[in-house]
Amino acid sequence: MEFRDFNVLPSCKQLAQLARKPYDLTAPGALGPERIKQYTASVCGFDFLYATQRLDNRTLDLLQQLADEAGLVEQFLAMKSGRTMNRIEGFASENRPVLHTACRDIFSSAPCNPEATSQAGEQLARLKNFLLELDQGKIVNHRGESYTTMVQVGIGGSDLGPRALYMALKRYQSAGRSARFIANVDPDDTAEILDNVDLSRTLFNVVSKSGTTLETLTNEQMVRSALEDAGLDPARHLLSVTGAGSPMDDPRRYLRSFHMFDYIGGRYSATSMVGGVTLGFTLGYDAFVEILKGAHAVDVAAEKKDVRANVPLLMALVGIWNRNFLGHTTVAILPYSQALLRFPAHLQQCDMESNGKSVTRKGQPVGWDTGPVIWGEPGTNGQHAFYQLLHQGTTVVPAEFIGFRQSQYGRDIDVDGTTSQQKLVANMLAQSLALAAGQENDNPNRRFAGNRPSSVLIADRLTPFAMGALLALYENKIAYQGFCWNINSFDQEGVQLGKVLATLVLQEMAADSMGKGGVLDKKSPEYTFLKTAGCLKNPQE
């Protein structure tokens, strides 16, 4: 399979031509009923409405051509079957397959990568047994009581996805069970949680693929010492999820240990045991399986070649149209669902760590833009805050709205003829239309230029299945964009750099505390920075 550079694809030239005069959403009749119906695609309970994007059939035809020329679906299938996609040709790289989809391919009679799917199945079976033993009272604390709280200790990919999913699905958590999360190495974050859980009835789930992450290992120590101070045996309260063979892969130190595998990237690991243990404990095994089913259904739907019928691919291509041809540098993810509070943060990592890259898969500088800046907050809160810039600012921000027709709890109130849920959805749809159509006014300060692109993803209700589907929609969108830009979306050298520098600076601080020489040149920027920030006890000239 040949990976082609983005800018040599013939369709790119034609798309650039088309982008000189994109579809005008402010023209009279530009958002007619036919268009709105036609520019809607469906997948696994979600409708994707994109009539409010600045594109038309000609654009879609060319985006189809782009997908075909770049072999996007072929690359996606190659990824799912276990081809080594995480690599840079001719240079040292992680050099491995990318198989998070295998975690949910367990429902296939013919999995794309049988070995990885069987490993995922084994871990899932271990989880099922563990949860059963908890339910049956076979695993209890020293007083014979059940565990009520799980605290997940992990950072980055070992935190964001699981936390976002837990918050999204809290409504379905089992009675008497809940979760908290410790990620930051900020001692106040850890202390607040340790002070506010009943340690004797808490399981601490330490999650680190590498088993070497400074924040997580430090927080694990803080947790162990809090347990010991309370007279509790850490081996009865700590679980681990880590890469097979990592320094943390030592079952003697934990009540129960689970594995993830090197072919699952941290930010793509929410459907592996990285998310499974906490989600299974709080929501129940069956709900976790529902999440996997939703994700799997989207993984299968993402194989369609027709871009108009393949929602994750369509989302990716619409994003590329906005980024590379209309020149928009950022994307706002705006869920009209308070439960999705942390979903934009998860996508921020998943997207920006994957596609914030500047070299191709051959190690050459890219000559085109790659991943945009991703950010977002739930609506309608955002409407009372930053939407001003979305409507009238000098930067056009394409928006991705996410909403649900029904609430999760079903508890609502009718005020002035509409429920709160209706008000929520009405606001979302109104925002999408207002951004597109704009509004004329003689007063320039009250004029809305319009032509600000957005799309809407809407489903009936945020259930475990819907959450799994939504997660996979975005994971696959991001992978498709990376394939199209011919970058490696699956490594994160930028994160490694920070880890190495922080280690050096910490070594210097430790030496300083002990009154020793240290490792840094006393004239280096690192040392001067530390000294000037007042973070050394015995600063040297």
Give 243 or 280: the residue with its C-beta nearer to ligand G6Q: 243
Rg of the chain over CA atoms, in angstroms?
A: 25
The catalytically annotated residue of 2, 21, 34, 384 is 384
Q: How far is the CB of 241 from ligand G6Q (least distance, A)?
A: 9
* Footprint on this chain of ligand G6Q (rule: CB under 6 A): 155-158, 208-210, 213, 216, 265-267, 353, 492, 495
Closest CB 320 distance from ligand G6Q, rounded Å: 22
Looking at beta carbons only, is 173 or 210 nearer to ligand G6Q? 210
CB of 215 to ligand G6Q, least distance (A): 8
Known catalytic residue at 220: no
Burial tier of 140 (Cβ tally within 10 Å: 0-12, 13-18, 19+): middle
Question: Which DSSP category does 367 fall into?
Answer: S
The residue of the chain with the least Cβ separation from ligand G6Q equals: 156
Is 296 labeled as catalytic in the residue annotation? no
- The order of strands in the sheet holding 330-335 is 40-43, 46-49, 454-459, 399-404, 330-335, 373-375
**Can you give the three-state secondary structure of 465-516, one letter per residue?**
HHHHHHHHHHHHHHHHHHHHCCCCCCCCHHHHHHHHHHHHHHHHHHHHHCCC
Is-contact 336 428, C-beta < 8 A?
yes
3-state secondary structure of 524: coil
| Closest distance to ligand G6Q from the beta carbon of 278 (Å) | 14
Backbone angles phi, psi at 32, to 5 degrees: -70, 165
Q: How far is the CB of 210 from ligand G6Q (least distance, A)?
A: 3
d(CA 157, CA 534): 32
Task: Kindly state the smallest distance separating residue 32's Cβ from ligand G6Q, in Å.
Answer: 43
Is residue 384 part of the annotated active site? The answer reads yes
- Distance in angstroms (rounded) separating the CA atoms of residues 489 and 479: 7
The distance of closest approach from Cβ of residue 261 to ligand G6Q in the complex, given in angstroms and rounded to an integer, is 12
Polymer length in residues for the chain? 541
Q: Which helix (H) or strand (E) holds 283?
A: helix 273-283
Task: Identify which of residues 157 and 284 has a Cβ nearer to ligand G6Q in the complex.
Answer: 157
Identify the residue whose tokens are 């679906």: 73
Which of 217/437 has CB closer to ligand G6Q?
217
* Choice among 499, 516, 522, 537 that is catalytic: 499
Contact 457, 47 (CB under 8 A): yes
Query: Which residues does residue 375 pair with via DSSP β-bridges, in sequence order?
Result: 332
Toward ligand G6Q, which CB reaches closer, 178 or 210?
210
Of 154 and 379, CB closest to ligand G6Q: 154
Instruction: Using alpha carbons, list the distances in angstroms from residue 282 to 176, 204, 276, 375.
Output: 9, 13, 10, 28
Beta strand pairing call for 414-415 and 418-419 = antiparallel
Distance CA(528)–CA(541), nearest Å, equals: 10
Residue 478: is it exposed, middle or buried by C-beta count within 10 angstroms (0-12/13-18/19+)? buried
Closest CB to ligand G6Q among 157 and 450?
157
Question: Which residues lie below 8 Å from residue 49, measured CB to CB, with a gap of 6+?
Answer: 36, 39, 40, 432, 455, 456, 457, 458
Among 215, 220, 290, 353, the active-site one is 353
- Structure tokens that stand for 183 in this block: 């990620």
Which residue's CB is nearer to ligand G6Q, number 82 or number 265?
Answer: 265
Q: Is 420 or 496 the residue whose CB approaches ligand G6Q more closely?
A: 496
What is the distance between the alpha carbons of residues 61 and 57, in angstroms, rounded to a whole number? Answer: 6
For residues 421-443, b (16+ Cβ closer than 10 Å) or e, as one string?
A: beebbebbbebbbbbbbbeeeee
The SS3 call for residue 73 is helix
Give min distance, CB of 274 to ligand G6Q, in A.
7
* Shortest distance in whole angstroms from residue 186 CB to ligand G6Q: 16
Nearer to ligand G6Q, 22 or 266 (CB): 266
To ligand G6Q, the closest distance from the beta carbon of 373 in angstroms equals 17
Residues with catalytic function: 353, 384, 499
